[in-house]
Amino acid sequence: NAGVTQTPKFRVLKTGQSMTLLCAQDMNHEYMYWYRQDPGMGLRLIHYSVGEGTTAKGEVPDGYNVSRLKKQNFLLGLESAAPSQTSVYFCASTTARGRGGTGELFFGEGSRLTVL
């Protein structure tokens, strides 16, 4: 069972470079999320999507863009990476209560991004 898969797992960037993190889920979930985790800050929501073709800003959206062209995929882009974006990024997904969801989010394994 693949669940939620994030690629890449590790990446080192130079300031100003761009990159895309891919999140793929095989559970037919409607809701998908991107979080970043920094020491002492917990997990903070960057962007999320409540369905294919929809996206919304979370708590810390600046410097990131997202797209959800297919239901199973949620892409997080950094157009011009900055050292402040050095973090561990988590993707997660879930389904609605009305579709049998139990409320919990299912997480990927995380992607460690370092911006030099």
Closest CA to 32 of 16, 10, 56, 15: 56
Smaller CB distance to another protein: residue 14 or 39? Answer: 39
The full 3-state SS of 65-93, as one line of letters, equals EEECCCCCEEEEEECCCCHHHCEEEEEEE
Do residues 92 and 74 lie in contact, with contact meaning Cβ atoms separated by under 8 Å? Answer: no
Regarding 44 and contact with another protein (CB under 8 A), the answer is yes
Whether 61 and 44 have beta carbons less than 8 Å apart is answered as no
Between 85 and 87, CB nearer to another protein = 87
Identify the residue among 12, 27, 56, 82 touching another protein (CB under 8 A): 56
Is 61 among the residues that bind another protein (CB under 8 A)?
no
In the list 90, 93, 113, 115, the residue contacting another protein (rule: CB under 8 A) is 90
The residues binding another protein (CB under 8 A) are 31, 33, 35, 40-45, 48, 50, 56, 58, 88, 90, 92, 94, 96-98, 102-105, 107, 109-110
